[in-house]
Amino acid sequence: MIRWMLLIFVLLVLLNSATGVIRKVGLGSLPGDFTFRLLGREVFLPCASAVLVTVLLFSTIKLLAWLF
């Protein structure tokens, strides 16, 4: 249980630190990506971008597995 909580914490920290890079690439402006203010901080939830990246990675892995 503690490992899962630690993993989720680390992933959230990485996601929060990569927000600037995500926006420069253009993934933060898709419909379904949410940005809101909470306690004076800007919170960014890239739901649509995460789905898009997952589909692209899955397709790439399947293509590579099919080729080799």
Q: How confident is the model at residue 66 (pLDDT cuts 50, 70, 90)?
A: very high
Domain map (residue ranges) of the chain:
1-67
Mean pLDDT, range 40-61, rounded to an integer: 86
Q: What is the pLDDT of residue 61?
A: 92
Look up residue 43 and give its DSSP letter. E
- Tell me the two tokens of residue 9: 């914490």
Contact 60, 52 (CB under 8 A): no
Q: Is the pLDDT of residue 51 over 90?
A: no
- Give residue-wise pLDDT tens across range 1-50: 788 888 888 887 887 788 778 778 777 778 888 888 989 988 878 788 88
Q: Is the pLDDT of residue 58 over 80?
A: yes
